[in-house]
Structure 1
Amino acid sequence: MEVIGKIKIINETQTFGSNGFRKRELVVTTDEQYPQMILIEFIQDKCDLLNSFQVGQDVKVSINLRGREWINPEGVAKYFNSIQGWRIESLQQAAAGQNVPPVDQFQPAPDLTDNEPDDLPF
């Protein structure tokens, strides 16, 4: 899945526990009739993907939806969802890489009307 929008917030990397679990949060505002502010988590080595991005950039973020169950002390199940990012691309760079030459730079198709024999069996 993908989320496309403008970066609103890039938080610093947080480290948790003795094993050094790392998490970094990104908020992307979608460009829709009713814009949504989507919190996306990048974990472990994916935290470093955000280093070259800045607030205000238009991006496309590839995400996975994650869900987990937690049983509270009273024995009641609670469910939590998270959105984890695993790739992020600048839309300006992607658009620049898709340049199409102007129409006058295309080569015309070869003339196929010359009187060569047709060797097709039908």
Structure 2
Amino acid sequence: MSYEITGKLIEKSEVQQKTETFKTREFVLEKTDDIGGRTISNFIKFQSVQDKTALLDRFQVGDTIKVFFNIRGTKWNKDGKDLYFTNLDAWRIEPEGNIAQQQSGYSDMPPAFTPDNEYEEPVDDLPF
């Protein structure tokens, strides 16, 4: 199951090469909500792994971004005691904003609009 959240990028780390074949990068998003007239801030730490570590390269601290992520849980036994870890694994990041921003190269998905900003209807060429 996949989730998404929008917030302000407040911290991003350098890529960490954990082993010869595994690398990670962590970042923190500030999510604010207005609850009963009070602004409540939550600070959520994400990680990206392998080729997804480069997703943060195009963003600066202070940018408002939308993060698409999966929740991963791991059980590890150390000295006879079970330990549990939860990771929020980011797999896509895009700027929060209008379509023009997304067309400027921020999104890793093809745009749904043509360069002159007209919607292109999908071609239905199925034989049934």
Output the TM-score relative to the length of structure 2.
0.69
Identity over the aligned pairs, expressed in percent?
35
The structure with more strand, counted as a fraction of residues: 2
Higher Rg: 1
Aligned length: 95
Moved over 2 A (4+): 92-97
Tell me if 1:43 matches 2:49: yes
Q: 1:54 aligns with which of 57, 60, 66?
A: 60
Q: 1:6 aligns with which of 1, 5, 8?
A: 8
Alignment partners' CA distance in 2, 1:64 and 1:45: 16
Where does residue 107 of structure 1 map in the other structure?
Answer: none
**CA RMSD for the aligned pairs?**
1.6
Q: Tell me by how many angstroms 1:72 deviates.
A: 1.2
Alignment partners' CA distance in 2, 1:30 and 1:47: 21
Alignment partners' CA distance in 1, 2:52 and 2:65: 16
Q: Which runs of 5+ in 1 are unaligned?
A: 98-122
Alignment partners' CA distance in 2, 1:84 and 1:94: 25
Relative to structure 1, the CA distance from residue 35 to residue 94 in structure 2 (aligned partners, 3 Å threshold; closer, same or farther) is farther
Q: Which runs of 5+ in 2 are unaligned?
A: 34-38, 103-128
Amino acid at match of 1:77: D
